[in-house]
Amino acid sequence: MHDKDAKFLEDSFKKYYFDHYDLIHTPKTPEMREFGYQKFNSGMTRHISLKSDKELHLLLMKNVPSDVYCSNARYSFPNLPMAEKDWQNADLIFDIDAKDLHLPCRQNHAIKKCTSCNGIFGNSEVCPHCNATKFETASVLCNDCIAGAKKELDKLIAILTNDLGISRQNITVYFSGNEGFHIHVTSEYENLDSRHRAELVDYLTFRGAIPETFGARTNFAKSVFPDLDEKGWPGRVSKAIFSAKSNKTKLSKEIISEGYFSFKKKLESLQKEIGAQIDPNVTIDVHRIFRLGGTINSKSGLTKTMCTDVAKFNPGTDACFIDDDEVSILANCPVQFRLKNKKFGPYSKEQVSIPKYAAVYMICKGCASVS
C-alpha cells in the first residue's frame, strides 16, 4: 500500500478509535488473554498483556493499528512465548465466511488485481490489460452472500442449542467486519483441546457420517430409517431425504433398492445442505488470536460488530462507522457497492469526491488511492 494511502487510513482509524471507545472492550479475564495488533505496511506484534479497557484504549491511540486481535485462549502468562504461556482453556469460536460458500453471485461483485501488470478488473478470468491469468481477488458487500452466511449461522446455532444444550445466552454473534460472522461460545466446551474440537467440528459439519447411524443394517434390505421428528442428526437427515412423513415408505423402498453405497453417497451429498459450513481450522486452533470486537477490519474499513438481531443486521449500515466527510480519491472500482444506503461505483480511474467511509472502503479493497 502506498504511504499516502496508509497515512489516510491511519488517520481515519485513529478518529474512529477516539470517537467510538464505547464499542471496544476487553473480554472477560483480560489479564489472561494474549493481545496483538498489526500496523499498516508492517508486521504483527503479539504476546501483549492488557489488564483493562483503559490499557486497551491507550494502545489503540498510541499505535493506531490496522487490525487488533485477542486470543480465545486464557493463559497463566499471556505475555510470554507460546511454549511458556501455560494454556488454561479457550473460548469456542466459529468462523463463517461468505467466500467459502462459493455462491454463484460472487463473480458479479469480485474485484481482481493482476499480479503481472497490477491492472484492476471485474468479471473475467483473464486480465484485459495483459492477458495474464494470475490475480488477487477481493469482494464487495453482497446481500446474497450475507444472506447465505446468515443461513449457515442459523444452522450452526440450531445444532449448538438443540444438540449440545448450549444456552443461546452463551452464544455471541459478531459481524466479522468483512464478509462473514464470528460466533463466540462460552460454555463447558471451552476446556476441549484441539483433538476434541476437531471431533466437534466433524459433528457440526456433518462430516464422516456413516449409513449405520441412520438405519442401515448388515442386511440392507431390512434397514429402518429414522423418523422425521427424531432429535439431532437422525431427524435432520430424514427431513432432508423424505421431506414429509407421507413420503417415507415409498422413498425408503427406493433407497433400499438402490443399495448401501448409493445411500452412503446420498449422506455425503447432504453435508453442505444440512451441515454448518464453518472454517474448521479456526475452531480447532486453541492458540489463535481473533479480531477484537469493536475494532476495524483493514480489509474493508468496517467494524467487527456485535449482532443483537441477526435477521435485521445490515453490515453496510450497521458496521460502517467511519465519518462522512467529503474526500477526493482516484477510484478504479469495477463493481458497484452500497454503504449507508448509498450506491457507489463502478469507477474507471476516475477522480471522485465521496464520503470518507466509502473512500476508506475502496482503499482497503485496493481499488482506490488518495489523490
- Please pick, among 97, 144, 229, 325, the residue that the annotation labels catalytic: 97
Residue 114: closest CA among 129, 95, 103, 92: 129
- Please pick, among 279, 285, 324, 325, the residue that the annotation labels catalytic: 279
- 63-66 contact pairs (CB < 8 A, 24+): 63/37, 63/39, 64/10, 64/13, 64/14, 64/17, 64/39, 65/13, 65/37, 65/38, 65/39, 65/295, 66/9, 66/10, 66/13, 66/37, 66/38, 66/39, 66/40, 66/296, 66/298
- Please pick, among 5, 67, 95, 318, the residue that the annotation labels catalytic: 95
What number of other Cβ atoms are within 10 A of residue 279's Cβ? 15
95 is catalytic: yes
% helix, strand, coil for the chain, step of 5: 40, 20, 40
Catalytic residues: 95, 97, 279
